[in-house]
Amino acid sequence: MSRTSSPSSHAALTLGALGIVYGDIGTSPLYVMKTVFDPANGLALNQANLIGIVSLIFWSLMVVVTLKYVTLIMRADNHGEGGIMALLALASSSVADKPKLRHTLLMIGVFGAALFYGDGVITPAISVLSAVEGLELAVPSLTPYVVQITLAVLVGLFMLQKHGTAGIGMVFGPVMVIWFVVLGGSGIVHLVQAPAILAALNPIAGFEFALRHGWLAFVALGSVVLALTGAEALYADMGHFGAGPVRLSWFALVLPALALNYFGQGALLLAHPGALENPFFRMFPQWALVPMVLLATAATVIASQAVISGAFSMTKQAIQLGFLPRFRIMHTSAAEIGQIYVPAVNTALLIAVIAAVVGFRTSTALGAAYGIAVTGTMMITTFLTFYVLRYAWKFSLLPTLLATSFFFLIDLTFFSANLLKIVDGGWFPLVIGAIIFVGMVTWARGRELLSSSLRADAIELKPFLKSILADPPMRAPGTAVFMNGETDLTPTALLHNLKHNNVLHETNLFVTVNTLDVPWVPFAERARAALLCKGCWSVTLQFGFKNDVDVPAALALLQVQGIDLDPMTTSYFLSRATVVPTLGGGMAPWREKLFANMHRNAASVADFMNLPPNRVVELGTKVQI
């Protein structure tokens, strides 16, 4: 994706990156230190432990975020796009000649994508709840209502989604600039008062802490990783802003602000151990608490918005790549094609977020549930990157192993530490991820079985047309567009139209829509036509997994090939299959029933492909799988 290089444009993109990309990781200081030293974890609050923990947090930011994501992973882009679905498409296409390996990568990548939804539930819940918990210090009388206020903020946020983020998005960047400046400034104030915490700059302090505490340090890593939540957003949102602005905002403001704040919290706890009740808000004087609660709430709403928007975008990509059924997708901006709203996903996320807040009730308790989905996705990202480096970019084996195994071991360590939290709440995002994973792989497998069943009973298109034209039926004026799942096979809709109406249009287009393993397909490459016989054309439309599927607009591109469609005399014929589960060698009976339900409840093909509703004819058939 080309980007203008003017200074003003670069500055705008950098500001936008601050508002969207760094909301999640930028609000982690609200709860990390409190969760690490939660008495339930058994880690004593003393100077040695504080220095060790702050050292681990700081060097985790340096190694995992700065080295892994900013330096390595952001180079593994798919035509400028990032995120686990883009990486999965790139990795799987690079091993297309190895079917078994490709299938394995697809399953692993899809599981990583499913874990993202678990993260998408926990992030809004813990972020907003941790911000509102500041009211316990600012206005103690509101303490009993923290959960209710959190729910009100979250419900309001999800209800606003259908109106789009264009308006409020303009203030995201400036608000987050203020937020990071406050993070850094408050850290400096306390750092000056207890500079002994600067010993944490030495990475050996973290190693000594780990050696000294052994198992307890391993448990603590499950909370330290909370400082890294949102690191995936650097990569996922790279396509929106470009790698340059994302990197610039990280080094210029985000990393210094986060580091200063974590050091400042450590310094505060060195001087005032009693501040552990809520070390972030204890950094501020009493008069500043209410404004900070408001600022923190705004920052956490922005962090939540980024995750929600990411879930919408992930869903659209998964639909395009064939891992989810069609959902109704609404565009909320005429100017920004990426701003979409998926009502079904929005509702499901809201229900799950409410359940998380009501079930866990405190940010500390939610901290036990947080991390496992994030670290799982991080580990899978590193795993897929190996195959991109080795097979897509043809790096030799040794440097590829050196570049990825180091980070994979770190990811594996963090993931293993978070496995200890499964009983205390880590099961929650895992259950969400597992349900979505089962749905995604069932849908993908079901589509394969449906396609095989249709192909087994189908008739080859070209010979069929020749036989029909040998004794042609009545030719109706206008154009018939038959949506065809398989390019060389006769669509069921054509068979039914001939059987019931005994008519063939003057012009017939047999259109197959393909989604490629690239984010965008240029207009010049989007539509291709081949003449089958007089008045009949085979048309292939190609879209990227981030393109909107707009069939009429793509067909209009055929004008340069001599096919000029009049919208008023063009009809679109769809074959709508009703799936009938049967005993056999397809899938387990319960999965076949699940696929049949998903297929029946999928959004209309006509809506998904942007077909004009008053020009669509649907003809159904039953298909056994």
pLDDT at position 421 is: 87
- Measured CA to CA in angstroms, residue 124 lies from 25, 49, 298, 423, 428 at distances of 12, 30, 12, 21, 14
Torsion on CA atoms 247, 249, 250, 251, rounded to nearest 10: 90
Report the percentage of the chain scoring pLDDT > 70. 96
Among the residue ranges 8-22, 409-423, 540-554, 594-608, the one predicted with the least confidence is 8-22
Please state whether beta strands 570-580 and 474-483 pair in parallel, antiparallel, or not at all (unpaired). Answer: parallel
**Could you tell me the residue ranges of all domains in the chain?**
9-321+350-421, 458-624
Which residue's entry shows tokens 């249709």? 454
CATH level 3 topology of 9-321+350-421:
Amino acid/polyamine transporter I (1.20.1740)
The confidence band for 531, taking pLDDT boundaries of 50, 70 and 90, is: very high
The confidence band for 4, taking pLDDT boundaries of 50, 70 and 90, is: very low
pLDDT in tens, 503-522: 899 999 999 999 887 888 99
Among the residue ranges 299-308, 355-364, 524-533, the one predicted with the least confidence is 299-308
DSSP 604: P
pLDDT at position 15 is: 81
Report the percentage of the chain scoring pLDDT > 90. 57
Residue 318 neighbours by CB under 8 Å, 6+ apart: 85, 113, 324, 440
Neighbours of 7 (CB within 10 A): 8
The confidence band for 81, taking pLDDT boundaries of 50, 70 and 90, is: confident
Cα three-residue angle 581-586-587, rounded to 5 degrees: 80
Instruction: Give me the residues paired with residue 539 across strands.
Output: 511, 529
pLDDT at position 57 is: 97
Cβ contact 302:497 at 8 Å: no
Rounded Cα distance between 271 and 194, Å, is: 7
Model confidence at 245: pLDDT above 70: yes
Which pTM was predicted? 0.85
CA atoms within 13 A on the CB side of 482: 27
pLDDT at position 2 is: 41
With DSSP H G I counted as helix, E B as strand and the rest as coil, what are the percentages for the chain, rounded to 5? 70, 10, 20
pLDDT in tens, 182-234: 999 999 999 999 999 999 999 999 999 999 999 999 999 999 999 998 888 78
